[in-house]
Structure 1
Amino acid sequence: MTERLHVETTGRVATVRLDHPPLNAFDTEMRHALADTAARLADSDDVHAVVLYGGEKVFAAGADIKQLAGFSFEEVLGWNRALQKAFTRFAELPMPVVAAINGYALGGGMELALTADYRVASATAVLGQPEVLLGIIPGSGGTQRLARLIGPSRAKELLMTGRRVRAPEALSLGLVDRVAPDPLAAALEYAQVLAAGPRFAIQAVKEAVDHGLDSSIAAGLALERSLIAGLFATRDRDTGMASFLRDGPGKATFDRDA
């Protein structure tokens, strides 16, 4: 797709692979590639799940510090706003996103992983938000998504110390959801399961949970009511309920074009 990013689609699963060796640093070209790719995926009717992958040795090790070091206040404000928007586009994709993490996922790399709905890491993966050690803070969602994922107290400890977290601790903290010998294979397997499921119901789950976390429970329940009512107009609802009544639970095969 670009020199920084490659997309490969197998069935209903799109694998987005970062390709900016040696550490997949987020420079301006990478930011443009991420934003453009997310926009295309959001508009795709053929992709029902996405896997984010950095490669066999590293997921991503953050921003290009040489580029950042030369920025003025005005330049970093605009650049960071644009990077936030690129990452948010991945977080707001209607389909589920699974991150496959090998090696380092630091700084912006971890922030990109946090945009996923599910994270699989290798046993040797290392995650962290070391920005404080540069005299700054995460600027692409780290202070917000991390706190929502593992709670404010644990998030502040990681953000204020900048320490790195290895895979076993990341799993215990809830920073990753699974540790596997081959994160890409495990992520693809899970993504394929999701892609074969009821497309609009899975999208509704993601929307209800993500938006519900940012609102009152009353507003979240109202959103939930609206979403479940809308699902009654889908072929997936017809298929799922007819299959349950005929064959029992867990037997439905959903129309993947629905």
Structure 2
Amino acid sequence: METLFSGTRCTLTRHGEAVALLALHNPPEGFFDPQSEREVLQALDVTDTLDGLRALILHGRDPGMFVRHYDVKELERIGRALLARDLRFSPDSPPPPGGFHKILERLEAAPYLSIAAINGWCMGGGLELALGCHLRYAQPGDYRIGLLEVQLGLIPGAGGTQRLSRAVGPARALEMLLLGTCVTPEEAARLDLVHALVPDALAHALDVAATLARRPPEVLQHLVHLHRDAQDLTPHEGMARERGAFSQVLRLPQTLQTMADYNAGRITVPEVPACRTAQTPAGR
């Protein structure tokens, strides 16, 4: 693996032509902080220059730690500064996006797919970072996943209130937000907070990334955008956009070749690795 960026909070490496790994680290607490924001944004600047990148995997470098949560000391400092300067914001008059928000915006707008390989503590801002990724996988362990902000008199401030309901449903999300519920990885899988519980989150994410890398990138981007449309548009509008996207990808050279190979018997579907069921808790 080639190291592309190395800092005190994250390390970016390339895993083959199509996949990059962003290892997050801030021992011993594992907090995200302003230095984390600066370094991750620098790492994303590097990913923007990588030709052929199809997937970026975010994972915790240290055992048992993805991102514990955002540094509460820093949040207290910001709150006291707002009070001292009498700066007032509201839902109708919000502040401009900060570094953490820009990270999530860039992941959402990137031409590659992002995967969170959750290998340990993932609460507050850590979960918001994971929720900002297209896919999330967790491995067993003695740690918790959740948005704990209300326990500190806070609310999630980097998309948690918006994205949690898309993962677990509106009713469950509201309860979790109000109680500050943090769950085991097994329960996170049952709630669909993560896509699956797997023995090794990073290894599974690499397998998924390898599968995604074989797909036409235009097809994957259409699927991501249409999935979002299904939540934001009317059914009529979403179906119309789907028809347009279908007609667009139908003539892609890679798509035409893949269909020709199938029709000639050179390949079969379903592809076994892509359809393999990940380990999930019993009873799900």
Fold agreement, TM-score > 0.5: yes
Equivalent residue runs for 1:5-154 within 5 Å: 5-11=10-16, 12-42=18-48, 44-55=50-61, 56-71=63-78, 72-73=81-82, 74=87, 78=95, 81-124=98-141, 125-154=143-172
Cα RMSD for the two superposed structures: 2.3
Q: TM-score, normalised by structure 1?
A: 0.88
CA deviations over 1:153-203 (Å, ceiling 9, x no partner): 111111111121001111110011221222111111111111122222122
Residues 68 and 79 (structure 1), Cα distance of their counterparts in 2 relative to 1, 3 Å cut: farther
**Is there any run of 5+ residues in structure 2 with no aligned partner, and where?**
272-284
User: Aligned residue for 2:282?
Assistant: none
Distance in structure 2 (CA, Å) of the matches to 1:156 and 1:133: 14
Verify: 1:209 aligned to 2:214, yes or no: no
Does the aligned pair in 1 maintain the 2:34–2:99 contact within 8 Å? no
As a proportion of its length, which structure holds more helix? 1
Q: TM-score, normalised by structure 2?
A: 0.81
Q: Which amino acid aligns with 1:250?
A: V
Larger radius of gyration, structure 1 or 2? 2
Pairs aligned (count): 252
Residues 66 and 167 (structure 1), Cα distance of their counterparts in 2 relative to 1, 3 Å cut: same
SS at 1:99 equivalent = strand
Distance in structure 2 (CA, Å) of the matches to 1:126 and 1:80: 28
Distance in structure 2 (CA, Å) of the matches to 1:117 and 1:32: 22
Does the aligned pair in 2 maintain the 1:23–1:61 contact within 8 Å? yes
- Aligned match for 1:191, one of 209, 215, 218: 209
**Is there any run of 5+ residues in structure 1 with no aligned partner, and where?**
253-258
Distance in structure 1 (CA, Å) of the matches to 2:23 and 2:138: 15
Residues 196 and 23 (structure 1), Cα distance of their counterparts in 2 relative to 1, 3 Å cut: farther
Distance in structure 1 (CA, Å) of the matches to 2:175 and 2:12: 35
Q: Which amino acid aligns with 2:125?
A: G
Identity score, percent: 32
Offset, 1:121: 0.9
